[in-house]
Structure 1
Amino acid sequence: MALLSNILGFSALGLAARFGQLGIQKRNLFDNLSGHAIAMGVFGYGGYWAYKWDLRAAELLSQKRAEIEARRQSASGTQ
């Protein structure tokens, strides 16, 4: 469920960015709906990538913590 909420949240951010872009240009917000879909898709993919990166970072951190704990155990065992 976290993956879906992350993708939907980033997609909403993409839609808001598209509305902001069209607002700055003073164009009709609902003129080109395919541009909205593209922006939402690109930002949604960014959300998917961010979710996967978060999982990978947590995995790397847990591995590094285990390595540090093993070094501490071996260092305290030799002294």
Structure 2
Amino acid sequence: MSMLTNIVGFSLFGLLARFGQLGIQKRNLFDNMGGHAISMAVFGYAGYWAYRWDIRAAELLADKRAEIAARRQQRVTERAGES
């Protein structure tokens, strides 16, 4: 998933959460647009952070897999040398 879709998706979720808040309170949904913008910005930043974390986690997993593969290869060569 690209960064833009992640940020927009989280922002829209923030907008829906804000509408849900106002709906529970039975207030006008379009009364305070600044609150909507703040909610969308906060959730959009959370989407950006989640995107960056996903990339970093993938890098960490790739590094760990390479490390495990190298250890396995080393064990195979050691066992072949013992025989």
Query: Counterpart of 2:47?
Result: 47
Q: How many residues align?
A: 79
Residue 75 (structure 1) aligns with: 75
What is the distance in 2 between the residues matched to 1:58 and 1:50? 12
Q: Deviations over 1:37-74 (max 9, x none)?
A: 00000000000000000000000000000000000000
Unaligned runs of 5+ in 2: none
CA distance in 2, matches of 1:27, 1:76: 68
| 1:1-79 → structure 2 map (5 Å cutoff) | 2-79=2-79
Residue identity in the other structure for 1:69:
A
Pair member with larger Rg: 2
- Structure 1 residue runs of 5 or longer lacking an equivalent are none
Normalising by structure 2, what TM-score? Answer: 0.94
Distance 1:45 1:14 in 2: 10
Please list every run of at least 4 consecutive aligned residues from structure 1 whose deviation after the TM superposition is greater than 4 angstroms. none
Whole-angstrom CA distance in 2 between matches of 1:24 and 1:40? 19
